[in-house]
Amino acid sequence: MALWTDVIDPATLTGYARESLAEQEARKGSLARWLPNRDVSDILVRFVAGQAGLVPEANYRAYDAEPEIGSRPTGKRHILELPAVGQNLPVSEYEQLRLRNAADTSMLKEILATTRRVVQAVSDRVERLRGEVLVTGIATIPELSPQGDDFGRKAAHNVTAATLWSGSADILEDFEAWKQLYSDTNGVDPGTILTSSRVISAIAGNPAFQTQLVNGGARRASIDDVNTILSGLNLPTLTAYNRRTSKGRVIPDDRLIFLPEAVETTDWEGTELGATFWGQTLTSQDSDYAIEDGAEPGIVVGAYKAEKPPMIAEIISDAIALPVLANADLSLVAKVL
């Protein structure tokens, strides 16, 4: 099966695919706001997993004395191999026959629509793995191995509320305790609490957040009301996240995650939590793709067509990607429902 370039060349189609990926992440909401996208010209990533925020203090010195030699951050050195992910979708013989007498723009629309689907398939799979990493602290890919890459989050950062929040639990006390645990570990406060609409609803109905009415009744709080109370108590505010894929919710709706402040989806230098690494595929180096030097890392997409009957065409996406927690303790997960 050869590249099909009659309607669009692979470099242009790849550019369209990458724009589509960015648009989908922006439209659907993406965990790349906490594990932002980072392109690397490799299939390996190397990093030292350590404790963010706390560093050894400097010592005062006498004039004319040399500064004391400090120590580098310590931690487990990781070398991870980035896995490949992709999908192909056919443009069937029937679809091609239906479009054969149409203008090239009709065939181009079909190719672009199929491209959006294979990009969405990759986007959803990588997003699901981001969720797995944030919830468990481990990147597990069942398609490849039952054993995952454990990023070493402290067991104390996986907690369950002593009293689940379906009733009149002391939610504020839980928030205070978990924020303190996070801060003691990291030396910085959490920036946000990522959770589902179901958990937000449970919080909004809790007596600590309800508005008491003059007739003795009570009004449920809105998310703005909840966040106003949390902010007033110097607690991180809530961010709703409810993304689903064909396999269900990305993050279970019975828990919440303490995280740093969100950043732009490409601002990997703006957070110490980690990143989603996008490696360089062999496909991107194919001279027939004609991708510019330095632009090879990231998802690539090409259209292919068989040269013998039934001459089925395929739109194929190819990527190498893995979400990584560089400082896993900058996340704390609590089961509350």
Q: What is the pLDDT of residue 22?
A: 94
Q: Does residue 337 fall inside a structural domain?
A: no
**Which of the 8 DSSP states describes residue 222?**
P
b or e along 317-337 (b: 16 or more beta carbons within 10 Å of the residue's beta carbon)? Answer: bbbbbbbbbbbbbbbbbbebb
- Say what percent of the chain tops pLDDT 90: 63
Residue 114 included in any domain: yes
Q: Are strands 274-278 and 37-39 parallel, antiparallel or unpaired?
A: parallel
What pLDDT was estimated at residue 103? 61
Q: Yes or no: say if 58 and 278 are a contact pair by the CB < 8 Å rule.
A: no
> Is 58 inside a domain boundary?
no
Mean pLDDT across the stretch 101-115? 80
Domain containing 290 — which CATH number? 3.15.30.10
Least confident of 93-102, 122-131, 268-277, 284-293: 93-102
In a domain, 122, yes or no: yes
Task: Domain of residue 280: give its range.
Answer: 2-49+76-152+268-327
Residue with tokens 């609490």: 193
Where residue 90 falls among pLDDT bands split at 50, 70, 90? Answer: confident
Given a cut of 70, is residue 155 above it in pLDDT? yes
Considering its fold, how many domains does the chain have in total? 1
**What does the pLDDT average to over 187-216?**
88
Closest CA to 256 of 98, 111, 135: 135
pLDDT for residue 56 = 63
Of 118, 151, 114, 120, the closest CA to residue 133 belongs to 151
Alpha carbons 5 and 64: distance in angstroms, whole number: 70
Could you tell me if residue 135 is inside a domain? yes
Across 33-107, the runs of DSSP E, i.e. the strands, are 37-39, 44-49, 76-81, 84-91
125 within a domain of the structure (yes/no): yes
User: Within a domain: residue 180?
Assistant: no
DSSP string covering 273-289: SEEEEE---SGGG-TTT
pLDDT tens-place string over residues 11-61: 999 999 999 999 999 888 899 999 999 999 988 887 766 655 555 667 777
In a domain, 21, yes or no: yes
Q: What CA–CA distance (Å, rounded) separates 204 from 208?
A: 9
